[in-house]
Amino acid sequence: MGGIDYLERIPNNVGLAENRRLQRALEEWQPKFLAWWQEMGPEGYQARDVYLRTAISVDAAGWAKFGYTRMPEYRWGIFLAEPEPGRVVNFGDHLGQPAWQEVPGEYRGTLRRLIVTQGDTEPASVEQQRHLGRTCPSLYDLRNLFQVNVEEGRHLWAMVYLLDAYFGRDGREEAEALLQRRSGDRDKPRILGAFNEATPDWLSFFMFCFFTDRDGKYQLASLAESGFDPLSRTCRFMLTEEAHHMFVGEAGIGRIVQKTCELMRAHGDDVRRYGGIDLPTMQKYLNFHCSVSLDLFGSEISTNAANFYTLGLKGRFEETKKTDDHRLKDAAYTVVELDGDRIVTREQPALVSLNERLRDDYVADCQRGVDRWNRVIREHGIAFELTLPHRAFHRAIGGFAEARVAPDGRVISQAEWDARHHEWLPTDADQAYVQGLMLPVVEPGRFAGWIAPPARGVNGQPVEYEYVRLA
């Protein structure tokens, strides 16, 4: 990449121009990132102009600049939210002490592991979504996909910045490894389960943005509470972009629901005959994506989580808005647990229950989105309700991993699971049907037959705007 003005290419508010050591580390990493983007980033359209939002500063005027860009030329920048003067550690054993501007030596390994786990998800999602461009339902959706992809790329930059700036040689090695693992690879998989699943179609993509990016929101919000100030400020800025990803998911599913309801009103329940995605199939996809995303919160009872909190590294969602002692040594929390063939609630020490508490916040947020989809269904006079599966359904991590549980929360036998799981999770035939619908629509203003157009376009542009220029 000789000849490019490197400092100009990386908009930042971290004083990059004054930090030679960091510059050198990033200069070495950047060509490797671009090589990864070419190999594992969106397939096709790399030479096309895409109407993208780029952050060039963190203030209201600069964080959302819209214009045509080719993806490999996207200016992946490094931004931290503005510092809060006098910020302190807001929880755990160091409560009230000044927030750390450098990594406390004894927490180095733990903090690095948290940052690497966060960072690993970002390129993983780009890899998972790389074939979707081929089957886009519209140029509007294609542009949204690419917007999400370049921003996940930027989130990787955000974590690599922390590794390079604060973790020396180990950090540089981790930054390389982030480009070497591959989603779904048997030998070098991504770290967390959901990020090794395939995203083969747009129904899966929208569900992923709704459920899995929302895990991102809750994890980032917890890390934004960190006593390690650079991590906090990095995550606070990432959250502004994350909101768009969840919008893409919720609105995408909402538009499919809308289209399906219109087809049902016109033709009755058999919407597959008319090229729609029936509500029971949507429910199965919802069950899948919700359950794998619930796994991302870790075990219900976790000493890791207790340590992250006690050390001041990872807080609760909206930690500073809570009015308790922010130490939780004597507090309890109600946790849902498996007890033989029953699911019960039990009081547990609050510190080891922090994963479950965050999962509770997440489930409540998911439910609000599902309620909005159900309102669309009701407005069409259709008697069907989408529901979140019980949190014990189809889990691979934590206390329910060994159990077989129906979506309604009944603990069932292996025999009943074998007989009925096809009612609850997408079958091969469901997936073949959905994937069969995925034929590209690339004429400005036109939409595939299984999804309604959006209510409005991007950044005040009309829906029929040429969001991706094909020539």
Tell me which residues touch ligand BYC (CB under 6 A): 114, 117-118, 121-122, 125, 152, 192-193, 212-213, 215-216, 219, 295-299, 302, 304-305, 314, 355, 397
Residue 295, binding choice from Fe ion, ligand BYC, none, Cβ under 5 to 8 Å by partner class: ligand BYC
Could you tell which of ligand BYC, Fe ion, none binds residue 251, using a CB distance below 5 to 8 A set by kind? Answer: none
> How far is CA 328 from each of CA 91, 97, 282, 299, 387, rounded to the nearest angstrom?
9, 17, 40, 18, 33
Residue 269 CB, nearest approach to ligand BYC (Å): 34
CB of 15 to ligand BYC, least distance (A): 26
Of the pair 149, 260, the CB lying nearest ligand BYC is at: 149
Query: Least CB distance from residue 158 to ligand BYC, whole Å?
Result: 11
155 binds Fe ion (CB under 5 A): yes
What is the C-alpha separation between 133 and 145, in angstroms, rounded? 8
What single string gives the DSSP state of each residue in 74-121? ----B--PPP-TT-B--SSTTTTSBPBSS--GGGHHHHHHHHHHHHHH
On the CB side of 14, how many CA atoms lie within 13 Å of its CA? 30
Given the complex with ligand BYC, which of 181 and 259 has the nearer CB atom?
181
CA distance 214 to 191: 18
Which residue lies nearest ligand BYC, judged by its C-beta?
Answer: 298
The residue type found at 256 is: I
At 333, which helix (H) or strand (E)?
strand 332-339
Tally of CB atoms within 10 A around 9: 14
Residue 181 makes contact with Fe ion by CB under 5 A: no
Residue positions counted in the chain: 471
Q: Is 245 in the site for Fe ion (CB under 5 A)?
A: yes
- Residue window 97-136: x/- pattern of binding to Fe ion, with contact defined by CB under 5 A: -------------------------x--------------
Closest C-alpha to 314, from 325, 306, 324, 322: 306
- CB closer to ligand BYC, 54 vs 118: 118
Q: Which does 296 bind (CB under 5 to 8 A by kind): ligand BYC, Fe ion, none?
A: ligand BYC
Quick one: CA dihedral 113, 119, 123, 129, positive or negative? positive
Residue 213 or 319 with smaller CB distance to Fe ion:
213
Which option in ligand BYC, Fe ion, none does residue 359 bind, with CB closer than 5 to 8 A by kind? Answer: none
The interface partner of residue 114, options being Fe ion, ligand BYC, none and the CB cut-off 5 to 8 Å by kind, is ligand BYC
Measured between alpha carbons, how far is 457 from 140 in angstroms, rounded to an integer? 7
Smallest distance from Fe ion to CB 243, Å: 9
Q: Identify which of 261, 199, 209, 204 has the alpha carbon closest to the alpha carbon of residue 451.
A: 261
* Nearest C-alpha neighbor of 156 from the set 198, 205, 190: 190
Q: Which is nearer to Fe ion, 191 or 452 (CB)?
A: 191
Size of the site for Fe ion (CB under 5 A): 6
In whole angstroms, how close is the CB of 371 to Fe ion at the nearest point?
22
Tell me the closest approach of the beta carbon of residue 242 to ligand BYC, in angstroms. Answer: 8
299 contact, one of Fe ion, ligand BYC, none, CB 5-8 Å limit per kind: ligand BYC
Question: From the CB of 296, what's the least distance to Fe ion, in Å?
Answer: 13
The CB-of-16 to ligand BYC minimum distance in angstroms stands at 24
Spatial distance between the Cα atoms of 427 and 51, rounded to a whole number of angstroms: 36
**138 vs 355 by CB, closer to ligand BYC:** 355
Nearest Cα neighbor of 317 from 224, 212, 211, 391 is 224
Q: What is the Cα–Cα distance from 381 to 397, expressed in whole angstroms? A: 39
Residue 217 beta carbon to ligand BYC: minimum distance, rounded to whole angstroms? 8
Binding site for Fe ion (CB under 5 A): 122, 152, 155, 213, 216, 245
